[in-house]
Amino acid sequence: MDGRDWKKFLLPYEQTVEELKVKFKTLRSELKSREEYSPIEFVTGRVKRVSSILEKAKRLNVPMEQIETGIEDIAGIRIMCQFVEDIGQLAELIRARQDMTLVYEKDYITNKKPSGYRSYHMIVEYPVQTSLGMKRVLAEIQLRTLAMNFWATIEHSLNYKYRESLPEEVVSRLSKAAEAAYKLDQEMSSIRDEIMESQQLFEDNSNIVNRV
């Protein structure tokens, strides 16, 4: 495929990422208005870079004709949560949706990756309406806490910088940092009720201030 072919190939993925971002941002504001708490803190999304698609296809031995089914994260959505408990609640909401079909889930929270990576991945099939008709596109939705995201973002940029041959010292520090992030999540969960109560109080107070 040349540059123009790739551009056309990626169009439905770009549309999918844009639509899913809007849908999950809307879900956040709807839950906030309805229930005053949303398991969604913020949402991001990206279409995988062509070089990254080619690298992954090579690594997984996926022939070019099977890229649409063989690479599941060309369209990627990332949803950040405050607490680990929010992830289970959010996964339930995603499973119940009728505008996408769950294909399968990968629990890298219970089973962390050797790197120390933790997140909950849901692969969904999303029917996107294009000018050429409906197309079913695979998308990967990653659910993470803020602490998991902090760790993954740093680790990803270090890997990019060192081109996946991180010095042993850095690998070991990252592994320690992953455990610290895990402990932070556990600690935050244990004081979750108190935090939620104070957030509620803060919101009530600012509503009063706004009314004055």
Q: What is the binding site for ligand 0O2 (CB under 6 A)? A: 48-49, 52, 73, 106, 113, 115, 117, 121, 140, 152, 155-156
Minimum distance from residue 175 beta carbon to ligand 0O2 (Å)? 11
Beta strands in 99-198 (DSSP E): 101-107, 120-130, 133-145
The size of the chain, in residues, is 212
- In the residue annotation, 140 being an active-site residue is answered as yes
Q: Pick the closer one to ligand 0O2 by CB: 28 or 106.
A: 106
User: In whole angstroms, how close is the CB of 50 to ligand 0O2 at the nearest point?
Assistant: 10
Which member of 19, 72, 140, 155 is catalytic? 140
CA distance 8 to 23: 24
Angstrom distances, CA of residue 1 to CA of 5, 14, 62, 135: 5, 18, 15, 20
What is the H or E stretch that residue 195 is in?
A: helix 192-211
Residue nearer to ligand 0O2 on the CB measure, 38 or 149: 149
Q: Closest CB to ligand 0O2 among 82 and 144?
A: 144
Give dist(CA 84, CA 4) in Å, integer.
42
Nearest approach, Cβ of 73 to ligand 0O2 (angstroms)?
5
Judge whether 142 and 124 are in contact, CB under 8 Å: no
Catalytic machinery residues: 140
